[in-house]
Structure 1
Amino acid sequence: MRFSILLFFLIMFMIGTDTFLISPMLPTLQTEFGVSTGMAGWMLGAYTLGSAVFALIAGPLSDGWNRKTVLLCGMLGFSVSTILCGFADSFWTMCLFRFLAGVSAAFTAPQVWASIPVVMPPSQISKTMGIAFSGLATAQAFGVPIGSWLAAASWSVPFWTIGAASMPLMAFVYFKLPDMKPRAQEKPSILSRYVPLIKSGKARSGFFAYLLLHLGSGTAFAFIGKWLADSFQLPVGHIGTVMMFLGIGTLLGSVVSSYATRKLGNVNAVIAGMSFVILLYAVLPRMSSLPVVTVGFLLLFATLGVVFPTVMEALTALNAAIRGTISSLANSTMNAANTLGAWIAGAIYAQYGGYSSIGVFSAACLALSLVVFFYGGVMGNKRTPSREQTASSS
């Protein structure tokens, strides 16, 4: 059982490291491939675009397949496509390989969340979910900086390292995890699994608010590395060191998330957390002191580490009968927002005053997200299902 927990953590760590790796390397890759600042965002967006589009298909399809097989195929594709990124010889081949890595991640990450309730005993499900989520936070804290330090030798090395390190995990999945075949013989269509969410006004509001939340945070994150290089003249290795504190913040937030929600309640934790993040997004890009910026972003990402799991819990509680599909849709929504955010960040950075304009845009997105979350009733009492939820479950 402990080995399974460690395995889920390591899988999410590898995916998280690969997902966030491009941001601190963006100035290096921009120079390597000779592209403009506006175009550079495509190297970020290609990955999240592939993940966003194919997560909509991968989640519902895997509900009717053996999850172990889907997980193995996804990890194989992820490993190979990430290694190929290190051999990219042009901007567009890099975008292609990043897109394929995103597609593979779309078939991998949702299987982790869906496999945990099957593999783990009920008393360990919540704990294992938290540990798997901390794999993403740990990737930001340590995986991305390590990748940045490796990139100081050659930009290809981090991609080769991540791809190669993912391969042994496939062997552990094959030998250690059981088959997870669907119980029901009937396989509903992909669209039919989304119908209850489409009909639910609360679900529509929740996912729109979730989109805005990640649009704001994703736009700000995409060009942090570029901003640190331009404003503070940091080389790629030092950028990774600064971004380590962002990941440490996320990790700390995920650790104290349950404590914060117990003390404040889910609703108050989200209101206080998002309000604080809105303020920091508006203010930090105007700071000229690197230590102040570093501490500020540590606090910002620690707060997001509390907000994200709390919001995700509210979304998965919308309809207990289709939590796998909800998780896939949430993953797709997050990556769609990050894709759009990377493109928007490039345009804003190049044309509207650099990173301070990105900060204003991100703050506005989070403010609107907060309004929609509560106007749509998403952050209501999750213990008492609404009539709409009950009807959609039947």
Structure 2
Amino acid sequence: MRKYTALFFLVMFMIGTDTFLISPLLPTLQAQYGVSTGIAGWMIGSYTLGSALFALIAGPLSDGWNRRTVMLYGLLGFSVSTVLCGFADGFWTMCLFRFLAGVSAAFTAPQVWASIPAVMPASKIAKTMGIAFAGLAAAQALGVPIGSWLAVARWSVPFWTIGAASSLLIVYAYYALPDIKPNTREKTSVLRRYIPLIISGKARSGFLAYLLLHLGSGTAFAFVGKWMADRFELPIGQIGTVMMFLGFGTLLGSIVSTYATRKLGITNAVVVGMLLLMALYVVMPRLASLPFVTIVYFIIFVTLGIIFPIVMGALTSLNASIRGTISSLANSTMNGANTLGAWIAGVLYVQLGGYSSIGIFSAICLAFSLGTFLFGGVLERKPARISEEPASVSETNT
């Protein structure tokens, strides 16, 4: 069992590191390519755009394929495209390679969430999913700052390092993960797999609220590195150190999320958390002390670490029979929101008063997200543990 847990953690760690890497590198890459602040955010947005677009088809398609094969080819594409980012000699070349890395991640990440119930016993599913989510949090706590420190030598080194490490992960996945074939050979169209979600009012509300949640948090995160460099004149190495501290906040939040849910209940935990986030996003840009800013952002990331697993649990409980499709749609929604958020952040930062306008925008998005969650009834009941239809795993070495 441990080999599966380690694999899923490492896959999400690599994808998370690559996803968040550009934010602390943004000032360096902006200077490297000589582009304006207004369009620099597309080095973030191109990755999330590729992931968002292709996740819409990756999940439904992979529901009918061998998940092991999809994961291996996804990791291969991810490794190659990330290495190529280190050789990008122009802004649009970088955007292209980031887009391809996002496409590869769109096929890889959903296999983690969909494979866990197929290879793990029912009693271990929830714990393993928590560990996989912790891989994303650890990417912020360790992967992104390490990437920032590596970039002190040369900006391309982090991309080469992630690409090389991902290639080693392919070998591990090849030997560790069994074939996970679909339960039926019946051909189902991509659109048909989405129909249960389209006709469900609760599902529509849930994904709209999820979009707004990530739009608010993603817009604030996209330019935090740029803002710290401008406001406090931080070099890239120190930005990485701050990012490490924030990442530990997310990791801590994911660890105590279950405890917070038990103490407050699902609805109260989300309400309290999102109200706190609204206040902090508005106040934080006005702080003049870097230590205070870091503490506030740490609290923000702890709160997000608590909220995200709760919300994801609510979404995955909508329909257990199309888990891959729901996971991919959630991934697409998240990356679509981050893509839009990176563009909006650039406009707000340049045109409307810098990071203060970003904080206000984020708070407004969270307010609408919370209202949609509540009025849509998404949080009314405790999400049920994801049930798994009998899995077709070609070897029973669990």
Q: Secondary structure at the match of 1:211?
A: helix
Q: Secondary structure, in 3 states, of the residue corresponding to 2:378?
A: coil
Structure 2 partner of 1:180: 180
**Partner deviation per Cα, 1:226-260 (whole Å, 9 max, x = no partner):** 00000000000000001111100000000000011
Shift, 1:322, TM fit: 1.5
- Runs of 5+ unmatched residues, structure 1: 386-394
CA–CA distance in structure 2, aligned partners of residues 383 and 345 of structure 1: 33
Alignment map for 1:19-30 (pairs within 5 Å):
19-30=19-30
For 1:180-210, what per-residue CA distance to the aligned partner results, in whole angstroms no more than 9, with x for missing partners?
Answer: 0111010210000000111111111111110
Determine the structure 2 residue equivalent to 1:199.
199
CA offsets per residue over residues 67-98 of structure 1, 9 Å max, x none?
A: 00000000000000000000000000000000
The residue number in structure 1 matching 2:364 is 364
Distance 2:229 2:178 in 1: 47
- Quote the Cα distance in structure 1 between the aligned partners of 2:115 and 2:383: 24
**Helix, strand or coil at the partner of 2:186:** coil
Verify: 1:305 aligned to 2:305, yes or no: yes
Give me the CA root mean square deviation: 1.0
AA of the residue aligned to 1:11: V
> Aligned with 2:41: secondary structure?
helix
Residue 294 of structure 2: aligned partner:
294
1:262-307 deviation digits (Å, cap 9, x = unpaired): 1110010000001101110010011010000001100110000000
The residue number in structure 2 matching 1:336 is 336
Alignment correspondent of 1:3: 3
1:357-394 CA deviation, whole Å, 9 max, x = no partner? 00000000001100011011111114689xxxxxxxxx
Letter in 2 for 1:304: L
Shift in Å, 1:39: 0.7
Match of 1:109 in 2: 109
The size of the alignment, in residue pairs, is 385
1:147-226 mapped onto 2 (5 Å cutoff): 147-226=147-226
Task: Give CA-to-partner distance per residue, 1:34-88, whole Å, 9 cap, x none.
Answer: 0000010110000000000000010000000000000000000000000000000
Query: Counterparts of 1:158 and 1:354 in 2: how far apart (Å)?
Result: 28
The answer to which of 203-212 and 319-328 deviates more is 319-328
Q: Give distance in 2, aligned partners of 1:95 and 1:135.
A: 25
CA distance in 1, matches of 2:80, 2:130: 28
Contact kept, 8 Å, 2:314 with 2:383, in 1: the verdict is no
- 1:7 is displaced (CA, Å) by 1.1
The aligned counterpart of 2:263 is 263
Question: Could you tell me which residue of structure 2 aligns to residue 41 of structure 1?
Answer: 41
Contact 1:317-1:382 at 8 Å conserved across structures: no
AA matched with 1:66: N
State the distance in 2 between where 1:194 and 1:328 align.
Answer: 11
**SS of the residue 2:181 aligns to:** coil
The equivalent of 1:389 in structure 2 is: none
Q: Secondary structure at the match of 1:178?
A: coil
1:291-339 deviations in Å (ceiling 9; x for gaps): 0000110011000000011011111111222222111100100000000
Indicate how the Cα distance of structure 1 residues 133 and 143 shifts in structure 2: closer, same or farther if over 3 A, else same: same
Q: Name the structure 2 match of 1:276.
A: 276
Partner Cα separation in structure 1 for residue 226 and residue 100 of structure 2: 24
- The aligned residue for residue 325 of structure 1 is 325
Read off the aligned partner of 1:114 and give its amino acid letter: A
- Large movers: runs of 4+ above 3 Å: 382-385
1:3–1:342 distance in 2 versus 1, CA, 3 Å? same
Partner amino acid for 2:145? P
Q: Is the 8 A contact 1:55 1:328 kept in 2?
A: yes
- TM normalised by structure 2 equals 0.96
Take 1:186 and 1:292, find their aligned partners in 2: how far apart are those partners? 57
Partner of 1:59: 59
Letter of the 1:181 counterpart: K
- 1:130-149 equivalences under 5 Å are 130-149=130-149
Could you tell me which amino acid in structure 2 is paired with residue 372 of structure 1? T
Amino acid at match of 1:251: L
Instruction: Report the 3-state secondary structure (helix = DSSP H, G, I; strand = E; otherwise coil) of the residue aligned with 1:49.
Output: helix
3-state secondary structure, aligned to 2:260: helix
Residue matched to 1:373: 373
Displacement, 1:168?
1.1
